[in-house]
Amino acid sequence: MQTDTRKLKEGDLYFALKGPNFNGNAFAQQALDAGAAYAVVDEIEYATDNSCIYVDDVLANLQALAKHHRQQFNIPFIAITGSNGKTTTKELVTIVLKTKYKTYSTYGNLNNHIGVPLTLLSLPVDAEMAVIEMGANHQKEIESYCTIALPTHGIITNCGKAHIEGFGGIEGVRKGKGELYDYLREHNGTVFRNTDLDYLKEMAAGIAQQVTYGSSDATYIGKPLMDDVFLKVAVLSSGAEATINTNLVGEYNFPNVMVAIAVGLHFGISIDEIKKAIAAYNPDNSRSQWLQAGSNRLILDAYNANPTSMRAAIINFAKADLPDKMLWLGGMKEMGEAEVQEHKELVALIKEYPWKDVILVGKEFNGIADGYKHYQTSAEAKVYIMANKPANASILVKGSRGSKMEVMVEAL
């Protein structure tokens, strides 16, 4: 299955999706010429030969076919959503399950109305476990994905200040993410719930099958430990006692590790196998990566940012025993009317700690940078860094994807 002619392989089925700025129908013949077995189109003028399948709505048909394929499996389907940590949790859960089961999961963060069905359609017949990441920025989005993926198990990592503009505030975030719990409640599913987040208990009320994890009062209990900037987790549950080393930066990754432990133990994987799998995991794609750039050490966490994750990262970095700490922070997107206030609060948080240097990037900091270095784009900040390269510094680089903070790292 493919929606991009540039990624087609011989024999693929091409779905001609369209959006505000593109029309996949126009590339149907190109897809066939590139080796696609069939092209599914919804504009009759592009149905040029017998290899074109004409439908009313390509996206609706993609989703319906994905649901049909999903219904051929009688295996656990674990859905993951939340404001922060979805992709890291998905990857940790997947590597743990792979130690015992043929496990398939969302590639990268293809977690939207196109990515979810494509993930489902990619599942081979030998799959024994499926892990499906679900992203959302408005109400009813998670609900729609559940009607396609039909999850049997679910994880809500957290409900923080993310996509506030679309959800309409923190209560809207909880309502939107809670659509996963709603589906599992109605279909007698199982949730893996973090007991350290009180609001999840209220959201999960009425769900009979709950597997809990956290630092106390849970089925599986652990404690976060820090080694330099890296997280260690002490598993305290009877019969599963262990200390697990990770390559994850920051105590804020503790619940992501704990839910992977809980899922593994729930599905009969030994703590020794879980320990080896998690210790071998290395984050990539600008998600809590610990990098060396010349004499400088960096935490590159520039794939996403919202007030909750930004605050956690800054506080964690401030507590770390590291030399010459610098902050390179990009603006947070999709804040709506809360944009100015949230960025003011972020600057106020920064001022609570001593830093060797602070660079803020983006229009979101206009008028509120409060004496810190401020540039409109990461490219402009890069010019400054190239002329004033730090040495032997520890740098936290974080911002929303649109801020392109990795551009600044190129200057080192």
Domain of 331, CATH number, reads: 3.90.190.20
Indicate whether 383 and 360 sit together in one domain. Answer: yes
C-beta of residue 345 within 8 angstroms of C-beta of residue 315: no
Indicate whether 269 and 309 sit together in one domain. Answer: no
Prediction pTM value: 0.87
Indicate whether 209 and 86 sit together in one domain. Answer: yes
Indicate whether 48 and 177 sit together in one domain. Answer: no
pLDDT above 60: residue 162: no
Indicate whether 81 and 11 sit together in one domain. Answer: no
- Indicate whether 223 belongs to any domain: no
Average pLDDT for residues 187-211, to the nearest whole number?
A: 97
The alpha-carbon radius of gyration of the chain (Å, integer) is 23
- Predicted confidence (pLDDT) per residue in 395-410, tens digit: 999 998 888 999 999 9
CA distances from 3 to 9, 41, 57, 190, 297 (A): 11, 11, 14, 33, 39
Confidence of residue 161 (pLDDT cuts 50, 70, 90): low
- Indicate whether 228 belongs to any domain: no
pLDDT given at position 168? 64
Range of the domain at 264: 63-218+251-279
Please state, in angstroms and rounded to a whole number, the distance separating the CA atoms of residues 176 and 172.
Answer: 6
Indicate whether 177 and 307 sit together in one domain. Answer: no
- Indicate whether 204 belongs to any domain: yes
Please state, in angstroms and rounded to a whole number, the distance separating the CA atoms of residues 302 and 246.
Answer: 20
Indicate whether 121 and 208 sit together in one domain. Answer: yes
Average pLDDT for residues 179-198, to the nearest whole number?
A: 98
Domain end position, chosen among 56, 83, 99: 56
Indicate whether 201 and 299 sit together in one domain. Answer: no
Domain of 31, CATH number, reads: 3.40.1390.10
Q: Return the H-helix or E-strand segment holding 95.
A: helix 86-97
- Indicate whether 33 belongs to any domain: yes
C-beta of residue 228 within 8 angstroms of C-beta of residue 242: no
- Predicted confidence (pLDDT) per residue in 28-75, tens digit: 999 999 999 999 999 999 998 899 999 999 999 999 999 999 999 999
Domain end position, chosen among 17, 37, 56: 56
- Indicate whether 244 belongs to any domain: no
Domain end position, chosen among 30, 56, 82: 56
Confidence of residue 285 (pLDDT cuts 50, 70, 90): low
Please state, in angstroms and rounded to a whole number, the distance separating the CA atoms of residues 344 and 327.
Answer: 16
Confidence of residue 111 (pLDDT cuts 50, 70, 90): confident
pLDDT given at position 166? 61
Indicate whether 199 and 320 sit together in one domain. Answer: no
